[in-house]
Structure 1
Amino acid sequence: MKHIVITGTSRGMGYEMVKLFAEKGHKVLAISRNDKPVSDLNLEGVTALSCDISKAEDLGRVSAFIDSEWKQVDVLINNAGALINKDFEKISAEEFQQIYSTNVFGVIGLTQKLLPFMKKDAHVVNISTMGGVQGSVKFPGLSAYSSSKAAVITLTELLAEEYKEKGPSFNVLALGAVQTEMLEEAFPGLEVPLSAKDMAGYIMDFSLTGHKFYNGKLLQVSNSTP
């Protein structure tokens, strides 16, 4: 039984991961600005916490929960993401900052808060996108989203190097197209064969075992373009 923290759990892959981890008997802290979808599941071992990871006071409540209830974190899955699909010239500085606040600084802030509770064999899995991979196909309208996810890739590599002696391990998954609400925002009308539950199962398995084989690695998880 592991202690799992997942962000972005109100919908899509994060929501499906909560259910899959709970089925396997793990303890889950499900973090999302909207905690109702997970709370309504009423799953044993699952705690839903309303939290905006871009806000320091909310992150403090997460670490307070871990300190009082769990004392340790075995897996952190930084899955939360914000996306805007808009021409570069029309994106305001505030909109760009909002995307980076969640996709980059939210990852940084939560990881910093939880590192004191993570042992050498713990695993941090950051979720990025194929659009953030250098040399991959890029798409107009996604300058804020894809560039922020590129920052997550480099951040992961840097943290793996910094913590390689004492742990935890850090890896990043660059996902291709998965049938989620976010895919619809990025590519309206596009239908792909991979479901949110399918990818959630892959991420769960990787988060539990991947650190035995990888550290500081970018794994491209995609069978299509986009």
Structure 2
Amino acid sequence: MVNVIITGTSRGIGFELAQCFANDGHQVLALSRNEGPIAELEHQNISFFPFDISRSEDIRKVENFVSENWTSVDILINNAGKFLNKPFLETSEDTFEEVYKVNVLGVAALTKAVLPKMLKGGHVLSISSMGGVQGSMKFPGLSAYSSSKAAIITLTELWAEEFKETGPSFNVMALGAVQTEMLEAAFPGYQAPNTAIEMAEYIMEFALTGHRFYNGKLLQVSSSTP
């Protein structure tokens, strides 16, 4: 049994991930602004509270929960993401910044808060996008989103180097098309080759075992374009 924190659990991959880990007997802290879908599961292995990754007071809630309920955190999955599909010239500075507050600054803040509770054998797994991979196909309207996802890839490499002696391990998955609400918003009508539950099962397996073989690595998990 492991203790795992997952962000962005109100829908899509995060929602399925929380169930996968919980059904496998692990203890899950499921974090999202809308806790309704997770609450409705009434799963004995899932704890939750409303959480906005861009709010420092909510980051402290996570620290307090871990201190009061767990001795350590085994896995942190940075899955939460803010999506924006809008022409660059029509994107305000505030809107651009909002994307980065969730996708980059929030991820960094939560990771920083959780790290002191993680042991050498722990695993921080961040979820990025193929749009953030240098040299991959790019799409108009995704300047804020894809560039923020590129930042997470580089952060992962830097964290792995900085903590290589003490742990935990850090890896990042750049996902291709998965049939979620976010994909529908980006590419209306496009049918992805993978469902959210299929991707969640793959991510869970890697989160549990991948850190034994990888550290500071980007895994491109994509079989299609987009």
In structure 1, what is the equivalent of residue 40 of structure 2?
Answer: 40
SS at match of 1:123: strand
Q: Deviations over 1:43-99 (max 9, x none)?
A: 111101211011100100011000000121000000000011000100000110110
Once residues 63 and 88 of structure 1 are traced to their aligned partners in structure 2, the CA distance between those partners, rounded to angstroms, is: 36
In structure 2, what is the equivalent of residue 110 of structure 1?
Answer: 110
TM-score where L is the length of structure 2:
0.99
Contact conserved, 2:130 with 2:174, CA < 8 A, in 1? yes
Structure 1 residue 193 displacement after superposition: 2.1
Q: Deviations over 1:20-50 (max 9, x none)?
A: 1111000000000011110110011110121
Partner AA of 2:26 in structure 1: H
In structure 2, what is the equivalent of residue 153 of structure 1?
Answer: 153
In structure 1, what is the equivalent of residue 122 of structure 2?
Answer: 122
Once residues 46 and 93 of structure 1 are traced to their aligned partners in structure 2, the CA distance between those partners, rounded to angstroms, is: 37
In structure 2, what is the equivalent of residue 173 of structure 1?
Answer: 173
Q: Deviations over 1:83-121 (max 9, x none)?
A: 110001000001101100000011000001100100000
TM-score where L is the length of structure 1:
0.99
Gap runs ≥5 in structure 2: none
Two-structure CA RMSD over aligned residues (Å)? 0.5
Structure 1's consecutive aligned runs of 4 or more residues displaced over 4 angstroms after TM superposition are none
In structure 2, what is the equivalent of residue 89 of structure 1?
Answer: 89
Once residues 52 and 123 of structure 1 are traced to their aligned partners in structure 2, the CA distance between those partners, rounded to angstroms, is: 22
In structure 2, what is the equivalent of residue 59 of structure 1?
Answer: 59
Partner AA of 1:78 in structure 2: N
Gap runs ≥5 in structure 1: none
Structure 1 residue 163 displacement after superposition: 0.2
In structure 2, what is the equivalent of residue 19 of structure 1?
Answer: 19
Structure 1 residue 222 displacement after superposition: 0.2
Structure 1 residue 185 displacement after superposition: 1.2
SS at match of 1:83: coil
SS at match of 2:6: strand
Once residues 76 and 218 of structure 2 are traced to their aligned partners in structure 1, the CA distance between those partners, rounded to angstroms, is: 16
SS at match of 1:122: strand
SS at match of 1:40: helix
SS at match of 2:158: helix
| Percentage of pairs with the same residue | 60
In structure 1, what is the equivalent of residue 183 of structure 2?
Answer: 183
In structure 1, what is the equivalent of residue 99 of structure 2?
Answer: 99
In structure 1, what is the equivalent of residue 6 of structure 2?
Answer: 6
Once residues 99 and 189 of structure 1 are traced to their aligned partners in structure 2, the CA distance between those partners, rounded to angstroms, is: 24
Partner AA of 1:19 in structure 2: Q
Once residues 181 and 132 of structure 1 are traced to their aligned partners in structure 2, the CA distance between those partners, rounded to angstroms, is: 19
Once residues 221 and 123 of structure 1 are traced to their aligned partners in structure 2, the CA distance between those partners, rounded to angstroms, is: 18
Once residues 20 and 126 of structure 1 are traced to their aligned partners in structure 2, the CA distance between those partners, rounded to angstroms, is: 17
Partner AA of 2:84 in structure 1: I
Residues matched between the structures, number: 226
